[in-house]
Amino acid sequence: MHVYADIDSSLSQQQTDPNNLSQTQHVQATRPLNEWDYSAIYEQSGFRAEALLEATVFSPQEDEIGEIVNIVLDQQNQIVTVIAEVGGMWDSGDRHVAIPWDEVELYEAGIKVPVRQENVEEYDLFTNVTIDEAYIYKQEMERVSTVEEDVATGPQTWKISDIIDDYASIESEKGYGYITDALFTNNGIMQAIIVKPLREEPGSGPRAFPFYGYPEGWRSGSSHYQLPYASDEVKELPVFDYDNYESVLD
């Protein structure tokens, strides 16, 4: 079996101390939006969830072998594995595989993984110990979702498809907008969600909000994502400029 890479020490410490994690994320979730600055995100770069979900999967020899269909994260919002559909070119039929994040290499053409015809069984999704008893199917949007609630990822992990396209609400407005994307650091930690407002007004456009959603205040399967901000705060938040955001996958 494949061993998943440890995340940084501070997150690892939080993972072993649930009380500390909850307190830390509660403080962060109440951070005023006027202290939230896009400049650090622009400077650090990273990648978008949608870009990873649209990425082509390549073998170590850079042969195209499949496509990414979902992303699995832990309670600290760190990617632990990606789910890909591979194998059609190997005359064995398409299959879903779970690839540990520390075995994924990002580059401009897509992602490179160590999956080959001779070892594909080792990555089979249905025998993966982290995604126990997974049962998945393809929806109209060509994304992988669970048939049974919490079966595919279990109580300790969640999928990016659980939050993309969800409605986002603010304190005074339940239908503020919907989540169209998420931003990750280069090492796979989710740092922001992109919300497109429902109302088309002058100067309107997608906004990036800090993400503290799981496990504090949001659970996969929730009817909407509650932003802990008032309307006046949100109006002052500038439109997120994708042109200033560099990503190896774009």
Cα four-point dihedral sign 14, 15, 20, 21? positive
Decide if pLDDT at 26 tops 80. Answer: no
Average pLDDT over residues 181-209: 89
Question: Residue 208 CB: number of other CB atoms within 10 A?
Answer: 23
In the CATH scheme, what is the code of domain 33-47+161-244?
A: 2.30.30.240
Q: Confirm if 170 and 177 have CB atoms less than 8 A apart.
A: no
Domain pair 33-47+161-244 / 49-159, same fold:
yes
Pick from 72, 54, 51, 50: nearest CA to 159: 72
Decide if pLDDT at 120 tops 50. Answer: yes
Per-residue pLDDT band at 222 (split at 50, 70, 90): confident
Least confident range of 40-44, 52-56, 140-144, 182-186: 140-144
- For residue 239, what pLDDT is reported? 94
Q: What is the pTM of this model?
A: 0.77
Decide if pLDDT at 113 tops 50. Answer: yes
Q: Which helix (H) or strand (E) holds 48?
A: strand 47-48
Q: What is the pLDDT of residues 67-108, one digit of tens each?
A: 999 999 988 899 999 999 987 666 666 788 899 999 999 988
- For residue 89, what pLDDT is reported? 66
Average pLDDT over residues 143-162: 56
Average pLDDT over residues 1-13: 34
Pick from 80, 79, 145, 86: nearest CA to 113: 86
Please tell me which residue, 36 or 175, carries the higher pLDDT value: 36
Please tell me which residue, 173 or 58, carries the higher pLDDT value: 58
Decide if pLDDT at 193 tops 50. Answer: yes
Return the domain boundaries, the chain: 33-47+161-244, 49-159
Q: Confirm if 226 and 206 have CB atoms less than 8 A apart.
A: no
- For residue 204, what pLDDT is reported? 76
Residue 8 amino acid letter: D
Decide if pLDDT at 58 tops 90. Answer: yes
Average pLDDT over residues 230-244: 91
Distance of alpha carbon 110 from alpha carbon 47, whole angstroms:
12
Tell the CATH topology of 49-159.
SH3 type barrels. (2.30.30)
CB contact burial 105-134 (16+ within 10 A = b; e otherwise):
ebeeebbbbebbeeebeebebeebebbeeb
- For residue 213, what pLDDT is reported? 67
